[in-house]
Structure 1
Amino acid sequence: MKDFLTLLATNDGIALAELVRNREVSPIELLDAAVANVEAVNPALNALAERLYESARTAAASIRGDESLLAGVPTLVKDLFMPVRGARMANGSHLFGDYRPDFDGELVARLRLAGIPIFGTSLSPEFGSSYCTSSTRFGTTRNPWRDDVTSGGSSGAAAALVAARAIPFAHGNDGGGSIRVPASCCGVFGLKPTRGRTPIGPAIGEGWAGMATNHAITVSVRDSAALLDITAGADVGAPYAAPYQKETFLSATRQDPARLRIAVIDQAPPWSTDPVCLAALKHTTSLLESLGHHVEPMTSPVDSAMFYDQVFTIIGAQTRSMINAIERERGVPLREDEIEARTRIVLRTKGQVSGAEYAAAVDYIHALGRTFGRIMERYDLLLTPTLALPPVSPAELNVGDDTASIADVIERSHRFSPITTWFNATGQPAMSVPLFWSEQGLPIGSHFAGSFGAESLLFSLAAQLERAAPWASRIPAVHA
């Protein structure tokens, strides 16, 4: 009799799907193993938002195995503005109560069409606006490497379960680093696609003026590429679309890139990069040079104070718009205890900006995209630390009361992750690759960004790095 739990925990999604196609394992057996693995690690992690085991079992029973390269492999969808029919969509907040959409988001529909059973949802902080997956409603998701540091956010629950090898991949979304930050904290792979590459509808047209996008956190690079092949493409009525890709993203993982010209940015003033994160960057630079790539330093082109002021203008205005819509729908004004201190601070400072101020903020991020577009005419890729600090305690990231200022909120979040949001603003694809572990045993990711539409180049390099310095055998303390 096969040990299905170990089988699931020690293979990536593509390998498991091949077993399904060859009739060596059934989708229901994989689903049962995924349920058992998640239930085994969740008490230590607090990562699961809702269980959808029965509907997943029904879906698994009808999967043939030829629907896609990942058919039969179960997964979770993050509980953050990605509807799953019949599942509670709380978005990490008391505000949404027990709202259960009666439709799927387009990305979820594409996963189902690809034969991927969805057996639950993973936790998020309120509205996805924190680098720590923690909320007053659902508590804190813990890091499988060490329970006193954050798993990252806002896809920290997805990253924790993937890192713990409960499942090989899980959905995440990213509006300021929310795939890449937890991928770094948890020692797994996380790629944010180009703006417009994956669908965000049909419920909304864009998130945070186009800064937010959907994809996944995975153990292997090839699973990430295969998932993007499954989900890529604008949905009906989307406000924009990413450039067309002639070849599959998976094909890019099978061939090393040509010699690349890579610029390294190691600091994002006024915040300094911790020595251990600089050591991780140096380690990655040496690895790149050993593979034949050219690496040279570059100074940050971003004024952090101006940048984050404009970013939070966008976040504040869109949060206010969302809350106005909820108030209109239910006919009852917002109560302060329905949202968290962090959200109250953002609304107080940025929730009443004028239309002209919002338009100026959008103009600012579009101008930044032009700036980076010109930089990318000189370089193939940019390399930076994913984080300026190694994983910190949740207390260092959380905002406990609303007497703090917006400057305090920005300082707490962006001294930790000062760079990832740049590429949400510009729309460029970016990824965190787990290539370094600190002396304390914590993973430290390396962050790469490519030109608009250049996911294939990122996948090609990531797969080359994965072959040169594999990470799948590194298993955290909490694991399946």
Structure 2
Amino acid sequence: MNLADYSRLDATALAECIRDKEISAAEAQQCAREAAAALNPRINAVIELFDAPLTHDAKGPFGGVPFLIKDLVLHAEGVRSQAGSRLFGDGVVAAADSALMARFRRAGFATLGRTHTPEFGFNATTESALGGATRNPWNLAHSSGGSSGGSAAAVAAGIVPIAHANDGGGSIRVPAAACGLVGLKPSRGRVSAGPDYGQPLMGLGIEGVVCRTVRDAAAALDAIHGNEPGDPFLMQAPAQSYARAIQSLPRKLRIAVSTQFPGTQPSAQPCVEAVEATARTLAGLGHAVEWATPAYTHEAFLSATRTFWSSFLAAGVAGMAQALQIPLDKALDQVQACTRVTAEYGLGLRALDLELALMQMNAVSREVAPFFARYDILLSPTMRTPPVPLGYLDQDDASRDARGFFDHLFDYATCTPLANLTGQPAISLPLAMAGDLPIGVHCMAPMGDEATLLQLAAQLEQAMPWAARRPAVHAATL
């Protein structure tokens, strides 16, 4: 199998080829290495390639499929992590797998390396003082999104068909939109973050993958969902596998459409047009479509999210200072300007501030919940604008305070963070283009209803197909 053929296959098809002995797992992994060697110097997506794939179950559903892990939150035994920060130096080596890494191994993913992330995942682009900028394979002058932009760029370029990602405000869905991929953020509690985390970012942080097809998103969720002993949430298992669920059409759905959420600026015209075209398609498929926006207190939403991220960064920097046995001030000197001011803000928070943020989180979730009693899906842009040029979201901008950087981020990713605060599942689909840049369309469903979300995504994949589109930088062109 040559690189062009390899890079056209999604993870499901590649796993089938390996099982049918049309290609060996070793040959597939060599294709991934060749693609990385040729393309990574141009896109800077992969921060490390291992000498050999991490151990995995060759008989798993994705047995032997090349895979990459994002360098944040997830831990693999014996693998170093730097979280996109100079503070970690050469990296902290994990003593054991996280629960998700163990599930990836059991699924058969052959993990070949680590992907870039911005410092502590605290950006909607993947640019860091440690690793530089990850470039968008569609247009190298533009952002690949963040914070899973390294994974997204690697998948979009055809290096691997699927990669690990996580999402604390849009970090699966924003890079999926920027790179023309499928990005599903599962419900809170659907995928365990244990044992190191119970609820990262007070429940905002969720683990998952980025991929090219809805069937890969469904099959991957089948492989990784489920609770672990000690998890703070017990999520009911789906009635049937997600891979099986997407074989059926969704029921007639009540779909709300919005291009501007409370307290945010209007979306750019290409993003509005993408949503309008999707709404027309959904109406033509028989769904009940109407324009409606959930009402919630934007300032409470923003305040709670700011508090959770600030305390997360403060804990991250303080924890590393303790682990490295260095003064906190010295640790703060080694992080980027916006990370520092936000961590410093977090260090000044009181227990009362965190309690108030949890109350705000509850209040916003209660405000939004009745909307999803009336509607099955909320359709919106994934991002307010097409992918921005590199440098636009500068995490080293010393002129911004903690509030200023938050406002800047949330002005770009206006529609994704709500699902993190409420815990609901959401997916970005690559349903449109603006010139040479992809446009993501965002669907959000009620808590726990990934099945309907994936069924609708599969229906849109058939009605508005994206499989034939390829970025300028892609393994098929080598």
TM over 0.5: yes
- How far off its partner does 1:123 sit? 0.6
2:415 corresponding residue in structure 1: 419
2:123 corresponding residue in structure 1: 130
1:95 corresponding residue in structure 2: 87
Q: Are residue 76 (structure 1) and residue 76 (structure 2) matched?
A: no
Letter in 1 for 2:433: W
Asked if structure 1 preserves the Cα contact closer than 8 Å seen for 2:194 and 2:228, the reply is yes
Asked if structure 2 preserves the Cα contact closer than 8 Å seen for 1:212 and 1:424, the reply is yes
Letter in 2 for 1:471: W
- How far off its partner does 1:300 sit? 4.2
CA distance in 2, matches of 1:29, 1:329: 41
CA distance in 1, matches of 2:228, 2:118: 26
Deviation string 1:88-128 (CA, Å, 9 cap, x unpaired) is 20000011222111211111111111221101010100111
- Aligned partner (choices 10, 13, 16) of residue 14 of structure 2: 16
Name structure 1 gaps, 5 residues minimum: none
Alignment of 1:212-251 (within 5 A): 212-251=205-244
Letter in 1 for 2:340: R
Asked if structure 1 preserves the Cα contact closer than 8 Å seen for 2:85 and 2:128, the reply is yes
Q: Structure 1-normalised TM-score?
A: 0.95
- Aligned partner (choices 314, 323, 326) of residue 320 of structure 2: 326
CA distance in 1, matches of 2:60, 2:355: 43
SS in 1 for 2:80: coil
CA distance in 1, matches of 2:381, 2:53: 41
2:455 corresponding residue in structure 1: 460
Deviation string 1:122-152 (CA, Å, 9 cap, x unpaired) is 0100111100101001000000111111110
Asked if structure 2 preserves the Cα contact closer than 8 Å seen for 1:50 and 1:87, the reply is no
- How far off its partner does 1:351 sit? 2.8
- Aligned partner (choices 287, 292, 297) of residue 286 of structure 2: 292
CA distance in 1, matches of 2:159, 2:416: 27
- How far off its partner does 1:301 sit? 1.6
- How far off its partner does 1:385 sit? 0.9
Q: Are residue 343 (structure 1) and residue 335 (structure 2) matched?
A: no
1:85 corresponding residue in structure 2: 77
- How far off its partner does 1:290 sit? 1.4
Asked if structure 1 preserves the Cα contact closer than 8 Å seen for 2:297 and 2:364, the reply is no
- Over 4 Å off, 4+ runs: none
CA distance in 2, matches of 1:351, 1:473: 49
- Aligned partner (choices 348, 370, 373) of residue 369 of structure 2: 373
SS in 2 for 1:266: coil
SS in 1 for 2:164: strand
CA distance in 1, matches of 2:22, 2:346: 56
Name structure 2 gaps, 5 residues minimum: none
Deviation string 1:212-238 (CA, Å, 9 cap, x unpaired) is 010000001001111110010012211
SS in 1 for 2:398: coil
- Aligned partner (choices 355, 358, 369) of residue 359 of structure 1: 355
Deviation string 1:201-222 (CA, Å, 9 cap, x unpaired) is 2122221101001000000100
1:143 corresponding residue in structure 2: 136
Q: Are residue 430 (structure 1) and residue 422 (structure 2) matched?
A: no
CA distance in 2, matches of 1:429, 1:303: 20
Deviation string 1:369-398 (CA, Å, 9 cap, x unpaired) is 222222111111111110111111122211
CA distance in 2, matches of 1:299, 1:82: 35
Deviation string 1:163-199 (CA, Å, 9 cap, x unpaired) is 1122111110000000000111111100000001111
2:44 corresponding residue in structure 1: 46
Asked if structure 2 preserves the Cα contact closer than 8 Å seen for 1:52 and 1:87, the reply is no
Asked if structure 1 preserves the Cα contact closer than 8 Å seen for 2:67 and 2:160, the reply is yes
2:196 corresponding residue in structure 1: 203
SS in 2 for 1:104: coil
- How far off its partner does 1:331 sit? 2.5
1:310 corresponding residue in structure 2: 304
Letter in 1 for 2:8: T
Q: Are residue 174 (structure 1) and residue 167 (structure 2) matched?
A: yes
Question: Mean alpha-carbon deviation: is it higher for 448-457 or for 294-303?
Answer: 294-303
Deviation string 1:63-104 (CA, Å, 9 cap, x unpaired) is 54x322x22211000000111222220000011222111211
SS in 2 for 1:239: coil
- Aligned partner (choices 142, 153, 158) of residue 165 of structure 1: 158
Asked if structure 2 preserves the Cα contact closer than 8 Å seen for 1:195 and 1:241, the reply is no
- How far off its partner does 1:24 sit? 1.8
1:29 corresponding residue in structure 2: 27
SS in 2 for 1:377: helix
SS in 2 for 1:205: coil
CA distance in 2, matches of 1:328, 1:478: 42
CA distance in 2, matches of 1:457, 1:9: 29
- How far off its partner does 1:403 sit? 3.4
Asked if structure 2 preserves the Cα contact closer than 8 Å seen for 1:142 and 1:151, the reply is yes
- Aligned partner (choices 248, 252, 260) of residue 245 of structure 2: 252
- Aligned residues with identical type, % of pairs: 37
- C-alpha root-mean-square deviation of aligned residues, in Å? 1.5
Letter in 1 for 2:375: Y
CA distance in 1, matches of 2:47, 2:195: 22
Asked if structure 1 preserves the Cα contact closer than 8 Å seen for 2:64 and 2:109, the reply is yes
1:477 corresponding residue in structure 2: 472
Q: Structure 2-normalised TM-score?
A: 0.95
Asked if structure 1 preserves the Cα contact closer than 8 Å seen for 2:317 and 2:343, the reply is no
CA distance in 2, matches of 1:236, 1:458: 27
Question: Mean alpha-carbon deviation: is it higher for 284-293 or for 344-353?
Answer: 344-353
Letter in 1 for 2:86: H
Letter in 2 for 1:78: K
CA distance in 1, matches of 2:472, 2:102: 34
SS in 1 for 2:142: coil
SS in 1 for 2:271: helix
Asked if structure 1 preserves the Cα contact closer than 8 Å seen for 2:296 and 2:367, the reply is no
Letter in 1 for 2:66: P
